[in-house]
Amino acid sequence: MTGGAALARQLDMWAANNGLPPTSDPRGLAIRLRYLARDEQGLAWLRLAQVTVTERTIARWRAARQRPLPANLRKIDQAFWACRRHNVVDYFKQVLWDDGRGTRIEIYPVDQQHVAPNRRRDLNVRVINVRTEWRRVVDAWNAGDQQALDDAWTYISDSLGSDHAAYRHVSHIGF
């Protein structure tokens, strides 16, 4: 995957606190509805995702007396992630920037076992401390702008000094 996609995946994992059941699981649905229905802002995210049911119906969903239709399950998940991203953006920027100290990231190169032996590169796991670009990365992640994430990753990976963009595509990035 591109480095930008790996950054987005890592931020998604952080936002989900390293695991969240899907909306098809009653627990996953309950978590999302509790998060969204706790205040007017969450309900606004539901409306923005075009969930057009009454608050009584949402209350029945929360009490597990009624199950949303599959289309509404997708919209609830969409609203949850939009709301969650909005709520954690400033926190992520602060934590990743760390008062100018930055965040250490581990970059795992692409697995080359399926590459012809004469075409393989000798690539190792790289560890760098990223001090800039976090605001740009988090804003692009929040907006769902994959191109901006890839552009930010290009800037970060260029600082590795790798030949021929060896780390533009990676298997994993860890913070």
Residue 102 shares a structural domain with residue 81: no
Residue 8 shares a structural domain with residue 24: no
- Grouping H, G, I as helix, E, B as strand and the rest as coil, residue 107 is strand
Residue 102 shares a structural domain with residue 160: yes
Q: Which domain holds residue 58?
A: 16-87
Cβ neighbour number for residue 29 with a 10 Å cutoff? 22
Residue 69 shares a structural domain with residue 119: no
- The answer to whether 3 touches 151, Cβ cutoff 8 Å, is no
Residue 62 shares a structural domain with residue 132: no
Residue 103 shares a structural domain with residue 169: yes
Q: Residue 79: CB partners within 8 Å, gap ≥ 6?
A: 32, 36, 42, 45, 46, 48, 49, 51
Which of 69, 87, 105 represents a domain boundary (last residue)? 87
Residue 150 shares a structural domain with residue 166: yes
Residue 7 shares a structural domain with residue 20: no
Residue 126 shares a structural domain with residue 78: no
pLDDT of residue 157: 87
Q: Residue 21: CB partners within 8 Å, gap ≥ 6?
A: 27, 28, 31
Residue 109 shares a structural domain with residue 168: yes
Torsion of CA 63, 66, 68, 73, to 10 degrees: 30
Per-residue pLDDT of the chain (175 residues; tens, 9 = 90+): 999 999 999 999 899 876 789 998 999 999 999 999 888 888 899 999 999 999 899 999 999 999 999 999 999 999 999 999 999 999 999 999 999 899 999 999 888 788 788 887 778 888 999 988 899 999 999 999 999 999 999 988 888 776 667 788 899 999 9
Which of 59, 87, 115 represents a domain boundary (last residue)? 87
DSSP string, 18-72: T----TTSHHHHHHHHHHHTTSHHHHHHHHHTT----HHHHHHHHTTSS---HHH
Split into its structural domains, the chain has a count of 2
Taking phi over 0 as left and psi of -120 to 50 as alpha, with beta for the rest, 144 belongs to left
Residue 81 shares a structural domain with residue 108: no
Half-sphere exposure of 151 (CA within 13 A, CB side): 9
pLDDT of residue 163: 66
Residue 80 shares a structural domain with residue 126: no
Which of 87, 116, 137 represents a domain boundary (last residue)? 87
Distance between start and end Cα atoms, the chain:
17
pLDDT of residue 18: 62
Maximum Cα–Cα distance for the chain, whole Å?
65
